[in-house]
Amino acid sequence: LLVAENTSNTLHKISEIYDRIAFAGVGKYNEYENLRVAGIRLADLRGYSYDRRDVTARALANAYAQTLGAIFTEQQKPYEVEICVAEVGDTPEEDQLYRLSYDGTIVAEPEFLVMGGQAEALTNEMRTAFSPGQPVREALGAAVSALGTAGGPNGAPRSLPASQLEVAVLDRTRGQRKFKQITGLAL
């Protein structure tokens, strides 16, 4: 499950990279959008040249880490982004979740990850609300509740309406394409 607070209906933070791989980004939109497009091209090229099974979140995360690391060391201004690459496997044990920071640092996360300006506080909230194997409805409730604990006036909790959320899921039970956005009445 990928959840983002997003008041824009046109600029997306969450998208599909390949059949079973999703991408999420925070920071400067044009920078993470460039990374997203490059990831799609790399995935398509690798899947076409070799085999669809050769396209993995780990390979994409490594390519992103190399790109971000090169930009960080060779350019005057590094990218101001943090991205997530997620892959759903045939079983929960095969799922992969990677966080990449602006300097190319890559971290494999075991269960969930939080990105953005108040990530530490939101991570603490998610630790108390998250449990492995939660149904999507409960996991979404936990994520939205955690998001609502930050950003309110004077630190007060706030309510986030569906119109301010961007939500997608990687569902291993779907056909070949596992990515599905949740919008409208379903959200």
Whole-angstrom CA distances from 75 to 36, 69, 70 are 20, 10, 8
**In this prediction, what percent of the chain has a pLDDT beyond 70?**
100
Range 35-55 average pLDDT: 93
Whole-number pLDDT of residue 17: 96
Whole-number pLDDT of residue 185: 87
Q: Residue 21 pLDDT more than 90?
A: yes
Reported pTM: 0.90
Average pLDDT, the chain: 92
Taking the C-alpha atoms of residue 156 and residue 149, their distance in angstroms, rounded to an integer, is 7
User: Using alpha carbons only, how large is the chain's radius of gyration in Å?
Assistant: 16
User: Which is more confident, 107 or 53?
Assistant: 107
Q: Residue 9 pLDDT more than 80?
A: no
- C-alpha dihedral over 170, 68, 150, 2, to 10 degrees? 0
CA angle, 166 then 155 then 99, to 5°: 45
Q: Which residue, among 69, 89, 96, 80, has the nearest Cα to 27 in the 3D structure?
A: 80
Q: Residue 151 pLDDT more than 80?
A: no
